[in-house]
Amino acid sequence: MSRFIFAALASFCFIGAAAAQQVPGRDLFDFPLGLLAEPAALSSRMAASIWNPAAASLDSASRLRAGFAGLATPQDQGVRLEMFGTEYRVAHGLTTNVSFAQASVTDIIRTETDPQSTPGEIPYQTTLISAGAAAHRASATVGLAARYRSASLDAEHAGVFALDAGAIIDRVARTPVRFAASTFLLSPSRHKEAATFMAAADLPLVHRDTTLSVRGGYAIMRTEGRGSEDYLFGSTRYRQFDASAGVSQSRVFGTTSRRLRLGVGLRYAGYDLALAREDGAAGFGASYQFVLTRTFK
C-alpha cells in the first residue's frame, strides 16, 4: 500500500475523482496512522484504532482509554495526519469507542494556464469520524464500526459512509497462533470509496512468563483499484519496554517498493508512549509517527 504522494497529486486526484466519482482524499489514509511497525489488522496500540474494529477492546481491569496519534512526512511531501480516540468498557467483555482522524497536504501550489503560480494554495484534506463497539469472549474478539469520511479538494466537497467489521482470534485450532482480519472503509457506495481488506497472523517465538516475549508473523493488505502490500514483521516485549520491526513490499499501479519500519514503545503507570519510523519511497524521506495513550482503571 503506497505511503507516498507525487508532487502532482492534487491535479491527478482531482481528475481521477471526477472520472471515477470517488470522494477525494482516500490516498491520505494509505499512511499507517496510529500504527508502529505492526500489522494493521493486529495492532491495538492506539485507542479506537481505525484499522480493525475488534482491536478497540478493553480487558476487565480497564475502564477507559484515550489516545492521540500523529504522523508527519518530509516537507517536500507535506502530508500531516492526526487522530484522537477513546474506548470505554460499558459491560464485561463489551467496549464502545469513538475516534476522529484528519489528514491534509500543505503547499499545493495553484497554477492556471502556465507553470507560473497564482496566489493561494489548493486545499486538500479529509476527515474520518468513527463510532463502534467490540465484544470479547473466550479467545475471540469481534468488532463493528460505522464511519463517515468527508473531504475537500479545491472547490470540490464530498462525503461517504462506511461500515467495517473485524475479528481477532488469540488461539487458532488450540495452537498459540494469533489471527486477525478486518475491512477498512467498506462502503455501500462502492463507486465513491475504495475499500481495504487485511489479514495478519503471528505466533510466539520466545515466551518466558510475563517478562519476555518475542513474536513473528506475516500480514497482507489489498485495496480495491489501488494496490497491495505484503508485510513480514516481528515484535518483542521485555517488562515495560517493547520494540517492533518489519519489511513491507507494496505494489501500486505496477510499481513495487520495499520499506523498513521500526518502532519502540514504553508502558508506565497507565501511559503508553511509542515512536516509529518508516522508510520513504519514490525519492521521499522517511515518515515519523507518534502515539500516546492513557488507560484508566
pLDDT string in tens for the chain (297-residue length): 333 333 334 334 433 433 346 899 998 998 999 998 999 999 999 999 999 999 999 998 999 999 999 999 887 778 999 999 999 999 999 999 999 999 998 766 666 655 555 555 778 899 999 999 999 998 999 999 999 999 998 878 999 999 999 999 999 888 899 999 999 999 998 889 999 999 999 999 998 777 899 999 999 999 998 889 999 999 999 999 999 999 999 988 778 889 999 999 999 999 999 999 998 766 678 899 999 999 999
Q: Is 234 helix (H, G, I), strand (E, B) or coil?
A: strand
Specify the DSSP element, H or E, that contains 9.
Answer: helix 9-20
CA distance 104 to 106: 7
Q: Is 53 helix (H, G, I), strand (E, B) or coil?
A: helix
Report CA dihedral (125, 159, 83, 109) to the nearest 10 degrees. 0
Picking from 74, 96, 70, the residue whose alpha carbon sits closest to that of residue 273 is 70
Residues 62-84 as b or e (16 or more Cβ within 10 Å = b): beebbbbbebbbeeebbbbbbbb
- Identity of the residue numbered 288: Y
Contacts of 207 (CB under 8 A, 6+ apart): 213, 214
- pLDDT given at position 78: 84
Beta bridge partners of 7: none
Contacts of 153 (CB under 8 A, 6+ apart): 10, 13, 14, 17, 24, 25, 122, 123, 124
∠ Cα 7 37 286 (to 5°): 30
CA distance 223 to 227: 6
- Give pTM, 2 decimals: 0.86
Q: Which domains does the chain have, with CATH numbers?
A: 9-296 (2.40.160.40)
Picking from 140, 147, 45, 143, the residue whose alpha carbon sits closest to that of residue 96 is 143
- pLDDT given at position 189: 85
- pLDDT given at position 112: 60
